[in-house]
Structure 1
Amino acid sequence: MTPEPHDFPDFEPGTVWLVGAGPGAPGLMTLIGHHAVTTADAIVYDALVNKAILRWARADALVEYAGKRGGKPSHQQRDISLRLVELARAGKRVLRLKGGDPFIFGRGGEECQTLARAGIAFRIVPGISAGVGGLAYAGIPATHRDTNQSVMFLTGHDTTGAVPAGVDWRAVATASPVIVIYMAVKNLRAIATRLVEGGRAPDDPVAVVSNASLPDQTVFETTLGDVVAGRGGDLPTPAIVVIGQVVSFRETLDWYVAGLRENGIG
Structure 2
Amino acid sequence: MSRAAIQVEPTAQAPGAVAIRGVRKGFAGRSRKSAGRLALDGFDLDVRAGEFLCLLGPSGCGKSTLLNMLAGFSAADAGEISVDGEQVRGPGPERGVLFQTPMLFPWLTTLDNVLYGPKARGAERGAARAEAQELLRVVGLESSSESYPHELSGGMRHRAAFARVLVNRPRLLLMDEPFGALDAITRVAMQRFLLQLWERDRMTVVFVTHDVEEAVLLGDRICVMSGTPGRTRAVFDVDLPRPRELELTDTVEFAHLKRQVREALEGSH
TM interval, shorter chain, is under 0.3
Which TM-score applies when normalising by structure 2?
A: 0.27
Q: Which has the higher contact order (CA 8 A, sep 6+)?
A: 2
Structure with the higher helix share, 1 or 2: 2
